[in-house]
Structure 1
Amino acid sequence: MDALFEPWSPAFVADPYPAYERLRADGRVHWFEPTRQWLVPHYADVSALLRDRRLGRTYLHRFSHEEFGRTAPPPEHEPFHTLNDNGILDLEAPDHTRIRRLVTKAFTPRTVAALEPTVRRLAAELVAGLKKDGGGDLLADIAEPLPVAVIAEMLGIPEPDRYLLRPWSADICGMFELNPSEETARKAVTASVEFSAYLRTLIAQRRTDPGEDLISALIAAYDEGDRLSEQEMISTCVLLLNAGHEATVNTTANGWWTLFRHPEQLAALRADHALLPTAVEELMRFDTPLQMFERWVLDDIEIGGTVVPRGAELALLFGSANRDPERFDDPDRLDLSRTDNPHITFGAGIHFCLGAPLARIELAASFGELLREAPTMRLAGEPEWKPGYVIRGVHALPVEL
């Protein structure tokens, strides 16, 4: 098993899909000793387990660490866990239900739709800069700044402060990798402290001087006597930044890398921009930005004849599920016109990505603008993959026009 699944191997990170094919052939669930997790590679299982209430993103709503057979995180990591554990991605009912309901009151479809002109304007400005320079790094020049600027605009973060967001997010997200180092934890804690302090000040300002931004809407959100606590607001804002741009950044860069390696599909897209909606979905399926989503087993479950006991952790392999031939016809073929495409990139169940509509708007805007304004864009060098496996992307994607 260890030879099949090698999340710390640069070669595996660069192309995990052949290993996934072998994992699927070898069974429905596999024990992986280095991380002490059960790997689940099949689409049907991943989809069902995302909705299974015998699993949880946390176990603390039912058990203490000791009761669950787990060790509490070290006290020095507490600022990270306070921040992370109060966000809806890592909560279960009833807290998840209450907070998601309140956040949804602020983060409405109308709010997202109203952002579309801003997203298009920002994408146009960024692509114009790339054109002016005759090329550059698609990751640093387009993929990263667009979603960060959009989230900053939503939250009402003043422009001079926005440069802080991406480094904070990168440091916090380091903790979502497998077996993070103590140095990674130290950086995540520092970023958690700094980002939380920054947002606490901003929330205090919005309480006395509300605006049209999402922070003001979160303060005002009220339902059945409930309001968000300050910590829940802070955790929600950080989650919106982290989840709201990490996947979009990597879908953009990984997606263009995929297109450059499939010139006939890129030519078809350039010839017919009406393919863009299905193309975006197919790029998210074909090279999934979030490769793994972890869940705790709260009550014994059986998967393919294997009993997975309470206290275990499941690693749901999104990248493998999205290439499962039992669900997708010819899954290793990139087909930008694919219509039967229920990919699992945004998750499923109660933790389905709240920001999925916004991500789709951002991806359509940046891909669309590049197709229109940079129709001859080509790769200027082979990309190198970052070491992270869970949130998977390249260091840079050099292009020339």
Structure 2
Amino acid sequence: MPLDPSFVADPYPTFAAMRNEREVLWHEELGLPVAVSHAACSAILRNRSLGRLWKDKEPVPEFAAFNMLHRNSLLENEPPTHTRLRRLISAAFGRGHTERLRPMVERLASSMVASMVARIEAEGSADLLEHLAEPLPVEVIGELLGVPPEDRGLLRPWSNAIVKMYEYGLSPAQAAAAEQASSEFSQYLRALATRPGDNLISDLVAVRDGSDRLTDDELVATGVLLLMAGHEATVNVIGNGVLALLLNRDQWDLLVATPSLLPSAVEELLRYDAPLQLFERTATAPVSIAGWELEPGAKIAALLGAAARDPEVFAEPDRFDITRSPNPHLSFGAGIHYCVGAPLARVEIAAALQALVQLPTLHLATEPARRPEFVIRGLRTLPVAV
């Protein structure tokens, strides 16, 4: 762990063994304590003595664009900067963008599934990631930000390159690619912000709170954050979740027969195989998490995948159950850093499932391939047939 292939394939037995030992443990490879219970992970995300304190990637001159994006990011700041950024960004989001996009998202998902079926009919199988899970959030984020359709092919490679920086065991080539993608995407968004339109970027440019507004760097950082969080998480929730549905055939058949279960199914997809497995926090004051004492400057990680399988909170936590209620998973975070894009992500996941259940005989064509990373958990391929 975290790069052992068997662990990446299925980390949940390891998490259970860790949780049986204690709620917070020291992890030698990661070099920090990790929380494995739901209560401890929730405390880490909510406790105001633990924050997101950005530390520039070094050497700083080699990562100017990457560091700029994170210095100015909603995710990497604490109050009062976070409070100000969230107020402005929420005001722009509050102008109805999620509901504006809902019909388009549903049409897109239906069209993409039809394209996937055509490929299956022609070739016998198709990759659900290629035809649905990956292109859907790219198109949605592109529409949200006002990226012209002809440019949306740029977004996925930029996102994929940048998020590699969050993994452990990063190679120099991957780090250089992340910096290049950060620079290219930043330049693109600066140019995009000069073109008015009915989109979130234009609303972020225009949003005011008295005399306060987003700086150019903050606007760019917000756009990049929305792509990385909105794209990577949604791709992996759809991929991991559809795999879980197809491996638990009774749950797939139940969803096909009872489409009214879509909302609770979305929440179970988010819980069962979380797209983001680990989140770090840094102590800003002395604090105790489940008996683990932290001094200012010390880091601790919440293992969100472990929290999602805690039997103290979830009955039969290793059982995939689309009727599960309540379902207090932490996949969108908690506290002041709760994901601002969560409503839009839920719309996308529900639209994908709604389109897929029109194919009641959907099944795995061959064994899917999993990505080798640990922090961002997802698949490389998901071959399906009908």
Give the letter aligned to residue 178 of structure 1: Y
Match of 1:68 in 2: none
Match of 2:16 in 1: 21
Superposition deviation, residue 322 in structure 1: 0.6
Contact 2:278 2:304 (C-alpha < 8 Å) held by counterparts: yes
Contact 1:127 1:369 (C-alpha < 8 Å) held by counterparts: yes
Contact 1:292 1:316 (C-alpha < 8 Å) held by counterparts: yes
Whole-angstrom CA distance in 1 between matches of 2:292 and 2:113: 51
Contact 1:35 1:179 (C-alpha < 8 Å) held by counterparts: no
Whole-angstrom CA distance in 2 between matches of 1:72 and 1:362: 36
Pairs within 5 Å for 1:185-264: 185-204=175-194, 206=195, 210-264=196-250
1:180 aligns with 2:180: no
Contact 1:20 1:320 (C-alpha < 8 Å) held by counterparts: yes
Superposition deviation, residue 225 in structure 1: 1.4
Match of 1:350 in 2: 336
- Write the deviation string for residues 320-348 of structure 1: whole angstroms up to 9, x where unpaired: 00110111111111111111111111000
Superposition deviation, residue 304 in structure 1: 3.2
Q: Return closer, same or farther for 1:144/1:59 CA change in 2, 3 Å cut-off.
A: closer
- Structure 2, unmatched stretches of 5+, are none
1:275 aligns with 2:261: yes
Contact 1:59 1:298 (C-alpha < 8 Å) held by counterparts: no
Superposition deviation, residue 128 in structure 1: 1.1
Give the letter aligned to residue 132 of structure 2: I
Aligned residues between the structures: 382
Match of 1:75 in 2: 61
Contact 1:24 1:42 (C-alpha < 8 Å) held by counterparts: yes
Whole-angstrom CA distance in 1 between matches of 2:161 and 2:155: 10
Whole-angstrom CA distance in 2 between matches of 1:144 and 1:391: 14
Whole-angstrom CA distance in 2 between matches of 1:391 and 1:88: 19
Give the letter aligned to residue 311 of structure 2: P
Superposition deviation, residue 184 in structure 1: 1.6
Superposition deviation, residue 72 in structure 1: 5.5
1:44 aligns with 2:39: yes
Give the letter aligned to residue 100 of structure 1: R
User: What percent of counterpart residues are identical?
Assistant: 48
Contact 1:36 1:313 (C-alpha < 8 Å) held by counterparts: no
- Write the deviation string for residues 258-301 of structure 1: whole angstroms up to 9, x where unpaired: 11111111111111111111111111111111111111112222
TM-score (norm 1): 0.93
- Write the deviation string for residues 92-129 of structure 1: whole angstroms up to 9, x where unpaired: 11111111111111112722111100101111110110
Contact 1:79 1:193 (C-alpha < 8 Å) held by counterparts: yes
Contact 1:39 1:314 (C-alpha < 8 Å) held by counterparts: yes
Match of 1:3 in 2: none
Contact 1:103 1:218 (C-alpha < 8 Å) held by counterparts: yes
Contact 2:43 2:289 (C-alpha < 8 Å) held by counterparts: no
Whole-angstrom CA distance in 1 between matches of 2:304 and 2:59: 26
Contact 2:24 2:35 (C-alpha < 8 Å) held by counterparts: yes
Match of 2:383 in 1: 398
- Structure 1, unmatched stretches of 5+, are 1-5, 66-70
Whole-angstrom CA distance in 1 between matches of 2:330 and 2:12: 16
Contact 1:289 1:392 (C-alpha < 8 Å) held by counterparts: yes
Contact 1:279 1:336 (C-alpha < 8 Å) held by counterparts: yes
Whole-angstrom CA distance in 2 between matches of 1:182 and 1:35: 19
For the aligned residues, what is the CA RMSD?
Answer: 1.4
Match of 1:389 in 2: 374
Determine helix, strand or coil for the equivalent of 1:185.
Answer: helix
Whole-angstrom CA distance in 2 between matches of 1:73 and 1:316: 27
Contact 2:159 2:231 (C-alpha < 8 Å) held by counterparts: no
Match of 1:321 among 307, 312, 317: 307
1:143 aligns with 2:133: yes
